[in-house]
Amino acid sequence: MLDIRLIRDDPEGVASALARRGVDSEAVLRARELDARARAHLTSRDQLRARIKALSREVAAAKRSNDDVRAAALAAESRRLGEEEQTAALQADRLHQALQDLLLELPNLPADDAPDGAGPQDNVELRRWWPGCSEGLPEPAVLEHQRVPHWEIGAALGVLDLERGARLAGSMFPLFRGMGARVLRALTSFALDQHADAYEEIRPPTLVLTETMTATGHLPKFADEAYHIERDGLWAIPTAEVPLTSLRRGEIIDEEELPLRFTAVTPCYRREAGAAGRETRGVLRVHEFDKVELFAYATPEQAPAIHEDITARAEALLQALGLRYRVVDLCAGDLGAASARTFDLEVYAPGSDRWLEVSSVSWYRDYQARRANVRYRPSGSRRAASSSDRAPRLVHTLNGSALAWPRIWAALLEQGRQADGSVRLPDCLAPYLNGELTISAPR
């Protein structure tokens, strides 16, 4: 959520920043108007309340003087002003709620260094990696036996059963079996082990309250994308970012504790309401999948290094898996609603000749923390300076997938396919697969 004080003080600057995302300036003007009107009614309420208190004292004085006529008149005036006070308070509450609803819909301001652009076509590719690139080897050509989509490979090897998955839960709910399921488990264990040095592992609930979903910006804007259990007022999480963002909701953290870093593996649920007409074959776009998430609370000064660390960790996993990938800097018009800056990691899938997003590493600044009310208290050196330095401040939140498995799984099958139809898996998974690194067709 944007800071209303920023809109009050610099509406033109906010409107200009949001225009980079395609947001009309009318929304900023509307927010400023609602705020001004709400504050005006609050001022009127407070003035009326003060006058009513003064009248109460005057009524008491009149009664002590046995001036019943004056006491009755003053009491009548007090009642009239009391009705006006209630009206002013109700108007202020109504306008404040309208303002909150509008602020919940407004996206975050893009970072100054996020590229300009209207959509994916304007994103900026920063770098590519492939096995051997550090030794100067050229980007590899796609071999003919790799030009097979993963859903055909998976069916031929008996590790992907889309038909039975659909029979159980409907389309876009894949069923992995045998080595296909074991590879998913191995990927999860491998990733968690790689992050254990600096990120505390959390196993959060995967059903959460409305306020938990609202804190990340998934509600109210993306309600159609989420699975809602209305009977219990719960939502199935689309990512572990949701519960991790609210892990310290309503708390004040000592600055000495920051940064706080967490990792979690959870199932993720997405309705994919906008998937009509898009690629839905195989496991590239599914309703349920497993993902390892990295998340951090940080001070504004710590945040850039955390952003780099999460990106580097996601890249290190892809390099260990030997997957050809690229890093893309998202332009302002393609950023997620809550993000100020995002780097996407995209893996190449030769079977479908596509770059597949497997991780988005995002810096939200204080946008989510304002919704979740997660703050930190400055350290002792600041505490001695002034009362303003002692005031709690909002943390910055950052997160990234490291990694989401369905598209990684698909890329491993396509990039690892051998001329005989088998799939060779990366060496880093050997400890998690009892040394079995070849997926062969069932006999």
Report the C-alpha gap between 188 and 201 in whole angstroms.
12
Q: Note whether 221 and 95 are same-domain residues.
A: no
Q: Which of 57, 78, 105 is the last residue in one of the domains?
A: 105
Two tokens, residue 210: 């409305």
Predicted TM-score of the model (pTM) = 0.93
Is 110 a member of any domain? Answer: no
Alpha helices of 196-333 — where are they, by DSSP H?
Answer: 210-216, 241-245, 303-320
Is 114 a member of any domain? Answer: no
Backbone angles phi, psi at 118, to 5 degrees: -100, -25
Is 27 a member of any domain? Answer: yes
- Residue 59: give the domain boundaries: 4-105
Is 370 a member of any domain? Answer: yes
Is 115 a member of any domain? Answer: no
Q: Which of 105, 128, 159 is the last residue in one of the domains?
A: 105
What dihedral angle (degrees, nearest 10) is formed by the CA atoms of 151, 157, 159, 162?
A: 40
Q: Note whether 32 and 138 are same-domain residues.
A: no
Q: Note whether 356 and 432 are same-domain residues.
A: yes
- Report whether 181 contacts 193 (CB < 8 A): no
Report the C-alpha gap between 91 and 152 in whole angstroms.
62
Q: What pLDDT sits at residue 390? A: 78
- Report whether 311 contacts 343 (CB < 8 A): yes
Instruction: Give the other-Cβ count within 10 Å of 344's Cβ.
Output: 23
Which CATH number covers residue 394? 3.30.930.10
Q: What pLDDT sits at residue 386? A: 59
Q: Note whether 177 and 257 are same-domain residues.
A: yes
Q: Is 382 exposed, middle or buried (0-12, 13-18, 19+ CB in 10 A)?
A: middle
Is 29 a member of any domain? Answer: yes
Tell me the pLDDT of the chain (443 aa) as tens digits: 999 999 999 999 999 999 999 999 999 999 999 999 999 999 999 999 999 999 999 999 999 999 999 999 999 999 999 999 999 999 999 999 999 999 999 999 999 999 999 999 999 999 999 999 999 999 999 999 999 999 999 999 999 999 999 999 999 999 999 999 999 999 999 999 999 999 999 999 999 999 999 999 999 999 999 999 999 999 999 999 999 999 999 999 999 999 999 999 999 999 987 665 556 789 999 999 999 999 999 999 999 999 999 999 999 999 999 999 999 999 999 999 999 999 999 999 999 899 999 999 999 999 999 999 999 999 875 445 555 677 999 999 999 999 999 999 999 999 999 999 999 999 999 999 999 999 999 87
DSSP state of 229: E
Is 87 a member of any domain? Answer: yes
Q: Which of 78, 105, 132 is the last residue in one of the domains?
A: 105
Contacts of 15 (CB under 8 A, 6+ apart): 25, 28, 29
Q: Note whether 48 and 142 are same-domain residues.
A: no
Q: Note whether 323 and 428 are same-domain residues.
A: yes
Q: Is the dihedral of CA 25, 371, 289, 263 positive or negative?
A: positive
Q: Note whether 89 and 148 are same-domain residues.
A: no
Task: Indicate the number of domains in the chain.
Answer: 2
Q: Note whether 81 and 125 are same-domain residues.
A: no
